[in-house]
């Protein structure tokens, strides 16, 4: 709407009060606009609703004066006419409302605009009404605000003497948890408000009032203890500690409502009922890391995530321990074994050639294969070759077998006395190639419906609501083609409860990150206050401290068990190089010895070398 045209239409009307009273009221409202609403945001909504023509004329007169004072501001003007049913879209975060009765306030139907909001709006209401009717109207306005979770409602009124007063309601009181009687919070002295805090804080002290929470026993997050009367209390758990400190700081009492009491704790039905209890305001809040979706956000409000966990995949370490056959084969990889076999063959062939074509080498050669094998196994041999080429050949073979055998025996000893496992799978490709079967609980499966990679693998879905059951299942199965899916916190819980570390090997890639937060009923007035308190706890390091206390100090370390890989050619390169050098020298000497009978100089030189 064009402001200048609106001003012209107001200039043709007149108010009932004298001009001085109107100016005081306008100044008070301008003070609110400039020092309250525009300090909170750069935009606010200005709404006028009145049923009496005289009051409408007064509001018109007041508007005229405001236009002269207002200047340039981002304002949405709304004027509601009698019996109007038009729903004007737009945010209602910060509101200035002019009314003449509770009925005109109710007819604005603010609740229909804010029911899907996740924050607390501000409402500064100026009511023009007879003095003797004011108290009853204020009570009805504040009841409407309370019923619709409008916690920041302040009402300005002007009495017959032109005095400006501001009332609000403080629902949490020493003697009541829904105290709706009007409370004077400030007055206007003509130039400023005596108390500039026109929207007093109402949630910093709940005076022991009850806040209802839908909780269930869910280690390690919340530990509950239920007595013989069926009443539950929080014992521990890092979310339990958070909720207890929140209750202590804001001075409220936690009333725990266990959804579907008697069913398995943490089951899907229990979680779903807990969310419905919050949605229908049976309880005020619940905790957990529910599957995030637009449907969930459309039903509930939530604070910022105060903890993040990971959905991981893990295999049982015991299933990957080396068997006797693997212990014998695993110290060297397939290429090393192939090269060792090739080296043995080459040495035997060269030894055969030397024995056949070298006269000196053929003398005294007894059981060459057994002597060759004895040297390879580290057994004593009494055979000493006469030929220099064979001596060099045997020396190279001795060095090669000594080094390779020492390495092999050392690794084999560590395999026998250590906790060594064969390399487990590290990513989805390995799982798919080896046709792994995933194991998870039905309640955990809900979080993983969007992980498409899991669709390529067969799965076992457990009906147990205990998240540990998936990991216990693969321990009992003791097969290498089973992988458990769950949160990393459960592994820490297993280690803490059973005092066993390194039982599982976690794959390098996480499935998803799961945000843990607090869910409240839609448009709950607790949202902003709880958010501020939880942020304080996080910044102070309290949440991390509670996690360390419940799960152990190693919670921030990724649980990956290292294993010794078999040795490759790069590790034994020098060993084969020594053998190749020795065999090369022996072949050179062999050739010289083979030619020596024909060359007198070589024969004399080799005889001296041999002696």
**pLDDT on residue 67:** 63
Coil, strand, or helix at residue 155?
A: strand
Confidence of residue 16 (pLDDT cuts 50, 70, 90): very low
**pLDDT on residue 256:** 93
**HSE of 578, CA atoms in CB hemisphere, 13 A:** 14
Write the DSSP string, 386-416: SSHHHHHHHHHHHHHHHHHHHHHHHHHHHHH
**pLDDT on residue 9:** 40
The pLDDT of residue 10 is above 50: no
**pLDDT on residue 3:** 33
- Counting beta carbons within 10 angstroms of the beta carbon of residue 434, is it exposed (0 to 12), middle (13 to 18) or buried (19 or more)? exposed
DSSP lists the bridge partners of residue 312 as: 486
**pLDDT on residue 559:** 43
**pLDDT on residue 213:** 94
**pLDDT on residue 370:** 67
In tens, the pLDDT along 194-214 reads 998 999 999 999 999 999 999
Residue 37 is given by DSSP the state I
Range with the lowest mean pLDDT among 125-129, 417-421, 479-483, 577-581?
Answer: 417-421
- Counting beta carbons within 10 angstroms of the beta carbon of residue 450, is it exposed (0 to 12), middle (13 to 18) or buried (19 or more)? exposed
Confidence of residue 563 (pLDDT cuts 50, 70, 90): very low
Q: How far apart are CA 351 and CA 323, in angstroms?
A: 37
The pLDDT of residue 151 is above 90: yes
319: tokens are 């299933």
111: tokens are 């609740």
Percent of the chain's residues with pLDDT above 90: 23
Q: How far apart are CA 437 and CA 73, in angstroms?
A: 63
CA distances from 457 to 69, 354, 430, 431, 471 (A): 70, 59, 11, 8, 18
Residue 421 is given by DSSP the state B
Q: How far apart are CA 446 and CA 266, in angstroms?
A: 12
DSSP percent split of the chain into helix, strand, coil, nearest 5: 45, 20, 35
**pLDDT on residue 85:** 66
For the chain, how far is it from start to end, CA to CA, in angstroms?
A: 120
The pLDDT of residue 61 is above 70: no
The pLDDT of residue 6 is above 80: no
> Mean of the pLDDT values across residues 222-235?
87
User: Which residues belong to CATH 3.40.50.2300 in the chain?
Assistant: 3-188
Percent of the chain's residues with pLDDT above 70: 77
For residues 290 and 259, the model is more confident at 259
**Do residues 582 and 346 make contact, with C-beta atoms less than 8 angstroms apart?**
no
Asked whether the bond before 220 is cis by omega within 30 degrees of 0, the reply is yes
Residue 447 is given by DSSP the state G
> 3-188: which CATH architecture?
3-Layer(aba) Sandwich (3.40)
Within 10 A of 160 (CB to CB), how many other CB atoms are there? 10
Q: Which backbone phi and psi does 46 adopt, to 5 degrees?
A: -110, 115
370: tokens are 């057994």
DSSP lists the bridge partners of residue 98 as: 48, 126
Confidence of residue 566 (pLDDT cuts 50, 70, 90): low
- Counting beta carbons within 10 angstroms of the beta carbon of residue 349, is it exposed (0 to 12), middle (13 to 18) or buried (19 or more)? exposed
**pLDDT on residue 556:** 40
The pLDDT of residue 492 is above 70: yes
The pLDDT of residue 323 is above 80: no
Query: With a threshold of 0.85, does the pTM exceed it?
Result: no
The pLDDT of residue 264 is above 50: yes
Nearest to 387 by CA among 356, 359, 347: 359
Mean pLDDT taken over the chain: 79
The pLDDT of residue 565 is above 50: no
Q: How far apart are CA 165 and CA 576, in angstroms?
A: 98
Range with the lowest mean pLDDT among 58-67, 160-169, 284-293?
Answer: 58-67
452: tokens are 């498409």
Residue 423 is given by DSSP the state P
The pLDDT of residue 46 is above 90: no
**Do residues 610 and 592 make contact, with C-beta atoms less than 8 angstroms apart?**
no
**Do residues 99 and 105 make contact, with C-beta atoms less than 8 angstroms apart?**
yes
> Mean of the pLDDT values across residues 450-454?
80
**Do residues 287 and 518 make contact, with C-beta atoms less than 8 angstroms apart?**
yes
> Mean of the pLDDT values across residues 233-244?
93
């Amino acid at each position: 709407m064009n402001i200048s045209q609106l001003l012209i239409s107001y200039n043709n009307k007149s108010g009932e009060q004298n001009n001085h009273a109107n100016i005081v009221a306008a100044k008070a409202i301008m003070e609110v606009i400039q020092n309250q609403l525009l300090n909170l945001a750069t935009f606010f909504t200005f709404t006028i609703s009145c049923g009496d023509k005289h009051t409408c004329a007064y509001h018109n007169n007041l508007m005229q004066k405001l236009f002269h004072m207002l200047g340039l501001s981002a304002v949405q003007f709304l004027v509601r006419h009698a019996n109007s049913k038009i729903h004007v879209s737009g945010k209602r975060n910060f509101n200035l409302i002019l009314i003449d009765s509770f009925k005109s306030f109710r007819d604005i139907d603010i609740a229909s605009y804010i029911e899907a909001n996740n924050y607390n709006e501000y409402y500064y209401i100026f009511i023009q009404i007879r003095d003797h009717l004011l108290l009853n109207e204020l009570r009805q306005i504040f009841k409407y605000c309370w019923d619709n979770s409008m916690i920041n409602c302040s009402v300005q009124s002007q009495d017959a003497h032109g005095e400006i007063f501001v009332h609000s309601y403080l629902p949490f009181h020493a003697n009541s948890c829904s105290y709706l009687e009007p409370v004077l919070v400030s007055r206007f002295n003509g130039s400023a408000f005596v108390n500039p805090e026109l929207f007093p804080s109402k949630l910093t002290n709940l005076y022991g009032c009850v806040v209802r929470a839908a909780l269930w026993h869910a280690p390690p997050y919340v530990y509950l203890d239920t007595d013989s009367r069926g009443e539950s209390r929080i014992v521990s758990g890092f979310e339990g500690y958070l909720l207890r400190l929140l209750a202590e700081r804001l001075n409220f009492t936690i009333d725990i409502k266990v959804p579907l009491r008697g069913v398995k704790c943490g089951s899907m039905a229990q979680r779903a009922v807990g969310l419905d209890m919050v949605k229908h305001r049976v309880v005020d809040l619940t905790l957990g890391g529910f599957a995030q979706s637009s449907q969930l956000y459309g039903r509930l409000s939530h604070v910022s995530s105060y903890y993040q966990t990971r959905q991981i995949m893990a295999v049982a370490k015991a299933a990957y321990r080396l068997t006797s056959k693997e212990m014998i084969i695993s110290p060297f990889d397939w290429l090393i074994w192939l090269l060792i076999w090739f080296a043995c063959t080459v040495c035997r062939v060269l030894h055969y050639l030397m024995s056949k074509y070298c006269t000196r080498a053929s003398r005294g050669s007894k059981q060459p294969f057994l002597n060759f094998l004895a040297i390879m196994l580290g057994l004593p041999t009494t055979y000493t070759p006469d030929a220099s080429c064979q001596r060099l050949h045997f020396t190279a073979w001795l060095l090669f077998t000594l080094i390779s055998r020492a390495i092999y025996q050392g690794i084999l000893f560590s395999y026998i006395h250590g906790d060594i496992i064969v390399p487990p799978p590290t990513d989805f490709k390995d799982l798919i190639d080896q046709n792994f079967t995933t194991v998870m609980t039905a309640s955990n499966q809900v979080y993983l419906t969007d992980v498409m990679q899991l669709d390529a693998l067969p799965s076992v879905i457990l009906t147990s609501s205990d998240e540990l059951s998936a990991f216990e299942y693969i321990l009992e199965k003791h097969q290498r083609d089973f992988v458990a899916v769950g949160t990393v916190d459960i592994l820490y819980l297993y280690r803490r409860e059973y005092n066993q570390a390194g039982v599982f090997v976690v794959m390098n890639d996480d499935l998803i990150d799961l945000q843990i937060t607090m869910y409240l009923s839609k448009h709950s007035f607790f949202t902003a206050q709880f958010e501020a308190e939880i942020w304080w706890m996080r910044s102070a390091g309290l949440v991390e401290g509670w996690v360390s206390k419940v799960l152990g100090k190693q919670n921030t370390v990724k649980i990956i068990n290292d294993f010794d890989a078999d040795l490759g050619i790069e590790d034994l390169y020098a060993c084969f190089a020594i053998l190749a050098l020795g065999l090369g020298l022996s072949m050179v000497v062999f050739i010289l010895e083979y030619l020596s009978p024909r060359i007198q100089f070589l024969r004399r030189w080799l005889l001296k070398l041999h002696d």
